[in-house]
Amino acid sequence: MAEQPQPISPLKNFPPRGFGGVCLVFVGHPLDTIPPPLQTQPKPQPGQPPLYSGTFDCFRKTLVGEGIRGLYRGMAAPIVGVTPMFAVCFFGFGLGKRLPPPKPDDVLTYPQLFAAGMLSGVFTTVIMAPGERIKCLLQIQAATGETNPPRSLDCAKQLYREAGIRGVYKGTVLTLMRDVPASGMSPPTYEWLKNILTPEGKSVSDLSVPRILFAGGLAGIFNWAVAIPPDVLKSRFQTAPAGKYPNGFRDVLRELIREEGVASLYKGFTAVMIRAFPANAACFLGFEVAMKFLNWIAPNL
């Protein structure tokens, strides 16, 4: 395994990770608006076509009906939450790398990076779950025909008034089921790709922009390859009326399999995969660029 970069202080790591998260949301959100309507659209009546025939049909109808603004609906929640989320993610990832405590000169193995990534997914769920709940509710407004959807803050207030903190955090278990294994996939995949893309005798810190983009984008593909089924269940559960699924995700899973088959667990696959590469490439590139800039202006931080 190639040599990994030396640990960096949390203070120095936080701003670049936050900037990388903002890049991810801004680049990926237009396509992130597509999976929830696809995943939650009702089963069509016999002889009737579905509301959306696929990813590109959903994208076209959203763009025609609401314009560019429709593609960025619900972005406020993830943008507001992305900086603290990445701070918590980094804390969880840093903690995971020290369990069990490694020797000072040890290079983490890929399984250790996977375990650390999974722990970071546990920590970020505290912020991700309510953000995902609000985002999904706002993104399906077009499918329900509502012409004046609430803003993110208004949506959060309404959820709290109706069901308290439980209403805001509805779908937390499914968010954990999605983010824990998915978060575990990105760090080892990204490090592995950077290592194999680094020319012999060179350092990973000297990788070119195209290679960083490729490594980051492919890491996102691996991340979402394991995240799509729980993401479908989460979207369906978080946008369902109160009391529809009393047994949680088990009821959602049974309903989907019974009515639409196993393939329904991969609804929105095309949109997710189209989004995964550029969004995660932007995230990792934003982090690397911000880190180099910070090293330039504050080398001793």
pLDDT range class, residue 139, cuts 50, 70, 90:
confident
pLDDT at residue 13 tops 70: no
CA 287 to the chain's CA centroid: 16
What pLDDT does 177 receive? 95
pLDDT mean over 230-259: 91
Spell out a b/e string for 239-271, using b for 16 or more CB atoms within 10 Å of the CB, else e. bbeeeebeeebebbbebbeeeeeeebbebbbbb
* Predicted model pTM: 0.75
Long-range contacts of 46-49 (CB under 8 A, 24+ apart): none
Least confident of 169-178, 197-206, 267-276, 292-301: 292-301
What pLDDT does 6 receive? 47
d(CA 152, CA 218): 31
Burial class (CB in 10 A: 0-12, 13-18, 19+), 188: buried
Nearest to 95 by CA among 123, 58, 55: 123
CB contact at 8 A, 52 and 61: yes
> Class of the 13-40+52-99+108-290 domain?
mainly alpha
CB neighbours of 40 closer than 8 A, spacing ≥ 6?
Answer: 136, 140, 143, 235, 236, 239
What pLDDT does 105 receive? 59
